[in-house]
Amino acid sequence: MKTRRTQNLMTVALVCMAVSIATKAQAADPLASWNDGPAKKSITEFVAKVTKEGSPDFVPPEERIATFDNDGTLWAEQPMYFQFLFAIDRVKALAPQHPEWKEKEPFASLLKGDMKTALAGGEHAFLEIVAGTHSGMTTEEFDRIVREWLATAKHPKTARLYTEMVYQPMLELLAYLRANGFKTFIVSGGGVEFMRAFADKVYGIPPEQVVGSTGKLKFELRDGGAELLKLPEIQFIDDKEGKPVGIQMNIGRRPIAAFGNSDGDLQMLQWTAAGSGARFCLYIHHDDATREWAYDRQSSIGRLDKGLDEAKVKGWTVVSMKDDWKRIFPFEK
Amino acid sequence: MKTRRTQNLMTVALVCMAVSIATKAQAADPLASWNDGPAKKSITEFVAKVTKEGSPDFVPPEERIATFDNDGTLWAEQPMYFQFLFAIDRVKALAPQHPEWKEKEPFASLLKGDMKTALAGGEHAFLEIVAGTHSGMTTEEFDRIVREWLATAKHPKTARLYTEMVYQPMLELLAYLRANGFKTFIVSGGGVEFMRAFADKVYGIPPEQVVGSTGKLKFELRDGGAELLKLPEIQFIDDKEGKPVGIQMNIGRRPIAAFGNSDGDLQMLQWTAAGSGARFCLYIHHDDATREWAYDRQSSIGRLDKGLDEAKVKGWTVVSMKDDWKRIFPFEK
């Protein structure tokens, strides 16, 4: 007898089944852009053992912290860090308001298009350009400026939006880890407010899970409002030894999994590996000059030298972009 | 006809109903320790309007950020900040390893039990005591030391564990906000690593949602391991103007609700109030000398003076502990 109640029950059950089928379909190949091989296998085996209740390697969900470098790990970083390309565009846009830049290095050379002379001053010149373009506005104004740039600026080689230059296999990996109860964080040398402008939409990582370098901020009461003004001084550099420090300050737990691509990530991986229980460390090796770029020990951007040696000694996973990834960018067929 | 399938369906439906009933029972009086009155009403009305889809005040769950001061807002802070009482106990415990403290202020007076002379040096003396007791160990060793102290040390007036000196109405408020899709954060002048040692267990706030003052950390490779050593230098003070700055650095979103009890929280409340859309600011007023303590404009600890004036002008909620709270501590009958 099909009463109304039975019909309702059947509806509930059908919905449940539909959800279950959808979940299974999704779970069928969560890492579809990864070739079968040791790298993919090391990931799925690690996730299987830390999520299996009763297993000696089981880790409760709240401790499943995974940290990801951004430049070169989640999106590309050639021919130069994208945030620096943003800074260069900002120097050009702001030049009319800064007539003094015509005479002042590194801005003068940069405005003439002479990048080599502009950057001859090394790190100091680099920081001058960043400070000059990342301060003097509120945090909310800066966020708007970054979003506008990301919506329009194109990569010099691919002519794609920068937010399209993300690695499809890493997007899948982020989603796969989250589906297995992990909390995913960015821990990167990039500016925290620059990364937050796209991390949520592009990676599914909310602002409060982005750890990065920070500039000093000044609280100001203005016309009945209250704002934070960005100052041209550095508060914290989230790179090398700064990465475990940034993790401790912001997250307060040692990650159980860490992902990077350069020597700047080495201390984060060392700190992650040194915790008790099951741990997972992974380096991405840029070895695909055809589909992306090939660089490692000699590169000034994203140098991977000591890290490559240590990965071998410690048995960390090293991903060959060439061999392990079916597809690099989402826009590839 | 009751087939096996129908039985299964009914089981599913019964489980769903049981869950639904349990949820409703829990929701019946989520703020049971709050007296009915304007303070409680202001909270429930705010939550109702920001969670109602289609309402002009609706706020999507990911933006429902609520920040709470700790000392005097979530737990008591008299006769002195509990973390400072911890530091005093540590000076006593560490004295045998520091024979030089016998001759060195503020330690010498403190060890003689002469608190007045010990603190005559003001903020400098205070920071000396904190630095001397909060550095020289790894972050994990410090966490263990704090947990041991919290498990045994007793409050000088009530003889209760410090973690029992939390406000029952605020525990209910934290749970109520989370049940309504809010993400709750601590944003306090206290040391971040001190607070993390109990925030998860006591407040249900995980380490990554605790923002506080920080000391400098040093990354060290040791015997094949990797540790963060606590240095006796300050990295960041999360108080007054530091609170909105700490929120921006760690959370990256302007809260929609903020809770404090002193002038040290004023900038956090101002910054919260100045955002667009519905906002909620609340001050706890310590006016119950019988059940807790009564202090405000003249107190050296938890002074509430400018904040009390601004709350009146801006129409922020001011909670009278005496009138608005049925019960203050969980151990009260």
* DSSP class of B294: B
Query: Measured between alpha carbons, how far is A28 from A31 in angstroms, rounded to an integer?
Result: 9
Give the pLDDT of residue B224: 79
Mean pLDDT of B115-128: 87
What is the C-alpha to C-alpha distance for residues A291 and B175, in angstroms, rounded to an integer? 50
A267 near B CB under 8 A: yes
Interface contact flag, A226 B13, Cβ < 8 Å: no
Question: Is A105 in the B-facing interface, judged by CB distances under 8 Å?
Answer: no
Q: Whole-angstrom Cα distance, residue B185 to residue B116?
A: 35
The number of angstroms, rounded, from the C-alpha of A205 to the middle of its chain's C-alpha atoms is 9
| Yes or no, beta carbons of B274 and A226 under 8 Å apart | yes
Residues A268 and A250: beta-carbon distance below 8 Å: no
Of B10, B241, B274, the CB nearest to A9: B10
Q: Which two tokens stand for residue B267?
A: 């900038």
- Retrieve residue A152's tokens: 């329009």
A-chain residue closest to B139, CA distance? A248
Q: Is B231 on the interface with A (CB under 8 A)?
A: no
pLDDT at residue B76, as a whole number: 98
Distance of CA B301 to the CA centre of its chain: 16
B108 Cβ neighbours under 8 A, 6+ residues apart: B101, B102
Q: Which of B209, B219, B243 to mutate to test the interface with A (most CBs of A within 10 A)?
A: B219
If residue A198 lies in a helix (H) or strand (E), which one and from where to where?
helix A192-203
For A179, the 3-state DSSP assignment is helix
Section A193-214 average pLDDT: 98
Burial of B111 (C-beta count, 10 Å sphere; 0-12/13-18/19+)? middle
Residue A290 CB neighbours (<10 A) = 8
Helix, strand, coil percentages in chain A from 3-state DSSP, rounded to 5: 50, 20, 35
CB atoms within 10 A of CB B76: 25
Q: Which residues in chain B have their CB less than 8 angstroms from residue A13's CB? A: 8-9, 12
Return the closest-CA partner of residue B149 out of B88, B75, B190: B88
CA dist., res. B294 & res. A84, Å (int): 54
B217 and A249 in contact by Cβ < 8 A? yes
Q: What is the DSSP string of B64-123?
A: -EEEE--BTTTB---SS-HHHHHHHHHHHHHGGG-GGGGTSTTHHHHHTT-HHHHTTTHH
**Percent of chain B surpassing pLDDT 70:** 92
3-state DSSP percent of chain B in helix, strand and coil, to 5: 50, 20, 35
Average pLDDT over every residue of A164-191: 98
Helix (H, G, I), strand (E, B) or coil at B217: strand
Q: Which residue has the higher pLDDT, B6 or A227?
A: A227
- For the stretch B144-162, pLDDT in tens is 999 999 999 999 999 999 9
Alpha carbons B270 and A139: distance in angstroms, whole number: 16
The ipTM of this complex is 0.90
A35 and chain B in contact, CB less than 8 A: no
Q: How far is B158 from chain A (nearest CA, A)?
A: 31
A20 or A295, greater pLDDT: A295
Mutate to test the interface with B, among A209, A211, A219, A238 (most CBs of B within 10 A): A219
Quick one: pLDDT at residue A27?
Answer: 55
Contact A316, A282 (CB under 8 A): yes
> Of A112-126, B105-119, B218-232, B303-317, which range is least confident?
A112-126
Q: Which of A248, A329, A241, A321 is nearest to A283 (CA)?
A: A321
Tokens of B129: 């005591």
Q: Count how many pairs of residues, chain A against chain B, have C-beta atoms within 8 Å.
A: 110
pTM of the model: 0.91
Helix axes A4-28 and B4-27, enclosed angle (nearest 10): 90
**Rounded to the nearest 10 degrees, what angle do helices A38-51 and A168-179 cross at?**
20
Do B252 and A208 make contact, defined as CB atoms within 8 angstroms? yes
CB B32 within 8 A of CB A36: no
Please write the tens of the pLDDT for every residue from B219-278: 999 887 999 999 999 999 999 999 999 999 999 999 999 999 999 999 999 999 999 999
Closest CA to A75 of A63, A85, A88: A85
Which band of pLDDT confidence, cut at 50, 70 and 90, is reported for residue B14? Answer: low
Cβ contact A317:A34 at 8 Å:
no
As a dihedral over the C-alpha atoms of residue B183, residue B184, residue B188, residue B192, rounded to 10 degrees, the angle is: -80
Place of tokens 């004036």: B309
The rounded distance, in Å, linking the Cα atoms of B214 and B197 is 14
Contact A257, A246 (CB under 8 A): no
- Tell me: pLDDT of A8 over 80: no
DSSP B183-205: EEEEEEEEEHHHHHHHHHHHHS-
Pick from A1, A138, A208, A237 the residue to mutate for testing the B interface (most B CBs within 10 Å). A208
DSSP H or E segment with residue A257: strand A257-260
Nearest residue to A128 (alpha-carbon basis) of A233, A236, A239: A233
Candidate from A16, A217, A274 with C-beta closest to B245: A217
Measured distance between the N- and C-terminal CA atoms of chain B, rounded to whole angstroms: 54
| Interface check A12 vs B, CB under 8 A | yes
What is the phi/psi pair of residue A317, to 5°? -75, 130
Closest CA of chain A from B102, distance in Å: 34
Task: Find the mean pLDDT for residues A153-171.
Answer: 98
pLDDT tens-digit readout, B281-323: 999 999 999 999 999 999 999 999 999 999 999 999 999 999 9
Q: What are the tokens at A248?
A: 């401790």
Contact map slice: A 165-224 vs B, CB within 8 A: 183, 192-193, 196, 200, 206-210, 214, 217-219, 221, 224
